[in-house]
Amino acid sequence: MTTTWTPARVLRDRNARLYLTGVVISGFGTSALWLASGVWVKDLTGSDGLAALCMLAMWAPTLAGPLLGTLADRFRRRPLLIAASLLMAALLPALCVVDSPRGLWLLYAVLFVYGATGVVHDAAESALIATAVDRSLLGDFNGLRMTANEGMKLLAPLAGAGLYAAYGGAGVAVLDSVTFLLATVVYASLRVREDRPVRAPGGGTAEGARHLWAHPVLRPLVLAAGATMLCAGLNGALIYAVVEALGHSPAYAGVLYAVQGAGSVLVGLLSGPALRRLGERRFAAYGIALLAAAVGLRAIPNEPLAWVCSAAVGAALPAVLIAALTALQRETPPTLLGRATATANTLIYTPNVLGLATAAALADHTDHRLLLAAVACALAATATPLLTPRNPTPA
Report how far Cα 9 is from the mean position of its chain's Cα atoms.
24
Region at 201 (left for phi over 0; alpha for psi -120 to 50; beta for the rest): beta
User: What pLDDT is stored for residue 393 in this prediction?
Assistant: 42
Residue 324 and residue 284 in contact, taking contact as beta carbons nearer than 8 Å: yes
Residue 269 and residue 7 in contact, taking contact as beta carbons nearer than 8 Å: yes
Collapsed DSSP state (helix, strand, coil) of residue 238: coil
User: What pLDDT is stored for residue 377 in this prediction?
Assistant: 96
Residue 190 and residue 18 in contact, taking contact as beta carbons nearer than 8 Å: yes
| Nearest-angstrom CA–CA distance, 369 and 289 | 18
Report how far Cα 226 is from the mean position of its chain's Cα atoms.
12
User: What pLDDT is stored for residue 395 in this prediction?
Assistant: 36
| Nearest-angstrom CA–CA distance, 356 and 229 | 10
| Nearest-angstrom CA–CA distance, 2 and 264 | 27
Which residue type occupies 5?
W
| Nearest-angstrom CA–CA distance, 383 and 224 | 7
In terms of Cβ atoms closer than 10 Å to its own Cβ (0-12, 13-18, 19+), residue 112 is middle
Longest CA span, the chain:
66
Q: How many CB atoms lie within 10 A of CB 186?
A: 21
Query: Residue 13, CB half-sphere, CA atoms under 13 Å: how many?
Result: 21
Residue 322 and residue 264 in contact, taking contact as beta carbons nearer than 8 Å: no
- The set of residues, in sequence order, having a beta carbon less than 8 Å from that of 118 and lying 6+ positions away, is 30, 58, 61
DSSP class of 5: -
Dihedral sign of CA atoms 274, 278, 279, 281 in order? negative
| pLDDT tens, residue order, the chain (395 aa) | 344 556 677 777 787 888 888 888 888 888 788 778 888 888 888 876 687 688 778 888 888 888 888 888 888 888 999 999 999 999 999 999 998 889 899 999 999 999 999 999 988 888 888 877 777 778 888 888 888 777 776 777 677 777 888 888 889 899 999 999 999 998 888 887 776 766 655 556 788 888 899 999 999 999 999 999 999 988 887 887 888 888 887 667 767 878 888 888 888 888 888 888 899 999 999 999 999 999 999 999 999 999 999 999 999 999 999 999 999 988 888 888 888 988 998 999 888 878 877 776 776 677 888 989 999 999 999 999 998 766 544 43
Q: For residue 26, give Cα distances in angstroms to 140, 240, 338.
A: 20, 30, 20
| Nearest-angstrom CA–CA distance, 346 and 139 | 21
| Nearest-angstrom CA–CA distance, 109 and 107 | 5
Closest CA to 307 of 262, 244, 357: 262
Q: Which residues of 207-223 are buried (b: 16+ CB within 10 A; e: fewer)?
A: bbbebbeebebbbbbbb
Residue 255 and residue 283 in contact, taking contact as beta carbons nearer than 8 Å: no
User: What pLDDT is stored for residue 54 in this prediction?
Assistant: 81
The string of DSSP codes covering 305-336 is HHHHHHHHHHHHHHHHHHHHHHHHHHHS-GGG
User: What pLDDT is stored for residue 134 in this prediction?
Assistant: 75
User: What pLDDT is stored for residue 142 in this prediction?
Assistant: 84
Report how far Cα 211 is from the mean position of its chain's Cα atoms.
22
User: What pLDDT is stored for residue 157 in this prediction?
Assistant: 67
| Nearest-angstrom CA–CA distance, 211 and 227 | 19
